[in-house]
Amino acid sequence: MRFALITLAACVAATSCVAAPVPQPRTAAAVPLFPGLALTGEEPVAEGGEVLMNENDPIAFVSGVKRAYVVAVTPEEVHGFYLGKLGGKVDYSSEDGHESIRPGGSTPVILSLDAHGFDVELGPDGRDMPGAKKRGLLTKFRKPLASGEWVQESQFQWIVRDAKGDLRSFHVSVQDQGLARDWSSYRPNTVVEITVNQFRQ
């Protein structure tokens, strides 16, 4: 549950995140789906037991589900869709705890972006692959973000608290799966994973 711990603490501390243009979704069914997404799998989150947010405030994992989807467009398009629907900004401290969320309230959406890098990497045939090869492929087939970067993976995360005080965490991941392993070709192929976990305090 280490990932969940970091996510919960970081989300609540995101006091300077940009608020979503609409209220954050509070149920799995309310999370928007990019048009054309095809469901490829669904599985329960198997982790359980007591989760310690800090020494004095234990919460218990109740249940969770992860759904995976795929769509034949670039990840920049999918990223832009979720940025428009959910908002989000990377700017938080991990010092605060989830107890600051009031019943019926929610955190802002935290956005994290892992952009493609262009260092030399070892290819599947054991030879070095220059970063310029990947950059040329992305430049040819994909429009970068306003920052000039290309999405390798972006994540949108937030938490809501219901009227009883229980917590529900949301994680939307947009992943680029279109580059060939040897960077010889590209085809639009983006995976979206949506995970929703329920915790009881």
pTM score: 0.83
Domain membership of residue 42 as a residue range: 2-117+129-200
Is residue 79 in a domain? yes
Residues 149-193: tens digit of each pLDDT: 999 999 999 989 999 889 999 999 999 999 998 889 999 999 999
Is residue 122 in a domain? no
Residues 83-136: tens digit of each pLDDT: 999 998 776 544 334 667 888 888 888 899 999 998 866 767 767 777 889 999
Tell me how far apart the alpha carbons of residues 61 and 66 are, in angstroms, rounded to a whole number. Answer: 15
CB burial class (10 A; 0-12, 13-18, 19+) of residue 43?
exposed
Is residue 124 in a domain? no
- 3-class SS shares of the chain: helix, strand, coil, % to 5: 20, 35, 45
pLDDT for residue 54: 53
Whether 30 has a pLDDT exceeding 80, the answer reads yes
Of 85, 91, 42, nearest to 193 by C-alpha is: 42
Is residue 123 in a domain? no
Is residue 162 in a domain? yes
Of 16, 194, 24, nearest to 106 by C-alpha is: 24
Q: How many domains does the chain have?
A: 1
Specify the DSSP element, H or E, that contains 79.
Answer: helix 75-86
Cβ contact 73:190 at 8 Å? yes
Cβ contact 150:2 at 8 Å? no
The pLDDT mean for the chain works out to 82
b/e for 175-195, b at 16 or more Cβ within 10 A?
bbebbeeebeebebbbbbbbb
pLDDT for residue 73: 98
pLDDT for residue 4: 43
Tell me how far apart the alpha carbons of residues 94 and 120 are, in angstroms, rounded to a whole number. Answer: 33
